[in-house]
Structure 1
Amino acid sequence: MRRGYTLLEIVVVIATVSVLVALAIPVAIRKIAEARDARARADVTRLSAAVLGFIKDTGRNPDRKNASGSQTFDLLRSTSDATKDPIDPSGLIATLSANAGDLNDQLVRNTYSYPNWSGPYVQEISLDAFGRNYLVYTKGFHSATTGSVVWIISAGQNQKIETGEADTKTSGDDIGLIFDVRR
């Protein structure tokens, strides 16, 4: 004759499963975060290689706003959707947004008729691993200030841009590369 499980046996099994789940969840969350960071780092490296390839081929910076190059962007986004920009506690991105463009128009499509453009330099660029735009701060390319910087950044886990306009290294959990474009 078969008998059922006792209440004590059921409680022991439930407790054991609960402990295993409680141990597994933080590990899984940490691994997901590490994977997102790794993807963002790889994407930033890929974008920087694309920007450098673009500059090598065209002899120009990827910041044109018109075909003649007489107008330039201060900021390029990985998509044209400004609502996907990172959180901006300093107000820098909000200030630059008035003069912002789509990075795909420079590196994927030759929208502004660069001579010697040999792209596409990357496949279509989209959002970072955290659901926000990658940002390329291009104002340093055409700034009159010596020691200007250009950066390519993902805002990281907290989705906030913490790197400043003149910073020479990323701040907070921002993931990016910064180029010193001294003249």
Structure 2
Amino acid sequence: MTGSIKQKTPAVRPNGSSKGPRGPQAARSLTRNAPSTTVPGFTIIELLIAVIIIGVLVAILIPVLVRRVEEARIARAESDVEHIKDALERAHIHTNYVYRLYVLDDNLGGNGLYLPLDPGDLDGVRDETGNWTVQTPTRMFIDYNTGQFAGNYQNIYASLTRNETDFGWAGPYINYQRGNFTWQDLPTDPWGEEYLLFTPAGVVDQQAGTVENFYNFTVLGTDTTVTLRGPFFDRFTVLSKGPNRAPGDGSVAAQFGIADDIYRQF
């Protein structure tokens, strides 16, 4: 009997297809042939490059932003000293006197109350008798010719409150923006310092109601206190000490009106 090798014919499924692999082998085959759904991520190098680019942009932009903010503050201070100077000039034209800065936003009359912490209370010029935030509040009249406070201020104030219209008071001469002045109603510059008023005789101490021929300040970068001696200006001057918050350049030899000081005169 002659042996022969018979070739097995693959079984055919009812739909005509041949039997393929079954079980785990079939699963492996399907997995191997399926399209990939993995999303490619960033490599460490790509992340480092992105961080470096962001750092460079920040290093460029931050100084620009800081400079723009400082420029805006300087512009506001320039506008403030101009408005305060104009208010003082108008008050002088109307009444023949220059005033302590807290008086400039006073209305005609008053309600008999002085409430510096109440944002809804509007000061009247008659309310200054109750002003407990400064010394001798009614000593407010500065003689334009001498640059000193008038000695007969009580009589002048009585004349003012007796009839503001006849006296010539037409306030308020300025409106300080809420948050830009101290609770004593003294205007502050963008760096948080009070604006200074100078007369030909010296600098006005707004708290005490006096004109002083000296000014004490701390030298920048030190604990050293220096006394500047006047006279400082030969005319009335409104001044902000500027970004460095010190007279002039803030050195031992500092002078008002130089370096970054911002001022207007009349």
TM over 0.5: yes
Name 1:175's counterpart in structure 2: 262
Q: Aligned residue pairs: how many?
A: 133
The alpha carbon displacement at 1:139 in A equals 5.1
1:61-80 → structure 2 map (5 Å cutoff) = 61-62=98-99, 76=100
1:122 and 2:122 are equivalent in the alignment? no
Which one scores higher on RCO, CA 8 angstroms, separation ≥ 6?
1
- Identify which of 30, 41, 47 aligns with 1:4: 41
The 10-residue stretch of structure 1 (154-163 or 3-12) with the greater mean CA deviation from structure 2: 154-163
Q: SS at the partner of 2:265?
A: strand
Find runs of 4+ consecutive structure 1 residues off by over 4 angstroms.
none
RMSD: 2.6
Separation (CA, whole Å) in 2 of partners of 1:140 and 1:55: 17
Q: Is the 8 A contact 1:41 1:175 kept in 2?
A: yes
Q: Is the 8 A contact 1:170 1:178 kept in 2?
A: no
Flag structure 1 segments of 5+ consecutive residues without an equivalent: 63-75, 77-102
Provide, for residues 75-132 of structure 1, a one-character-per-residue CA deviation record: whole Å limited to 9, x for no partner.
x5xxxxxxxxxxxxxxxxxxxxxxxxxx112x12233434211101001352101110
Identity among equivalent positions (%) equals: 29
- Identify which of 21, 25, 44 aligns with 2:62: 25
Provide, for residues 1-60 of structure 1, a one-character-per-residue CA deviation record: whole Å limited to 9, x for no partner.
212210010001101111000000010011011000000000000001100110011122
Q: Is the 8 A contact 1:154 1:174 kept in 2?
A: yes
TM norm structure 1:
0.65
1:16-165 → structure 2 map (5 Å cutoff) = 16-62=53-99, 76=100, 103-105=101-103, 107-109=104-106, 110=125, 111=128, 112=138, 113=157, 114=160, 115-124=167-176, 125=181, 126-138=187-199, 140=201, 148-162=234-248
Q: Is the 8 A contact 2:238 2:264 kept in 1?
A: yes
More helix by share: 1
The alpha carbon displacement at 1:177 in A equals 1.1
* Amino acid aligned to 1:104: Y
TM norm structure 2:
0.46
Greater C-alpha radius of gyration: 2
Q: SS at the partner of 1:119?
A: coil
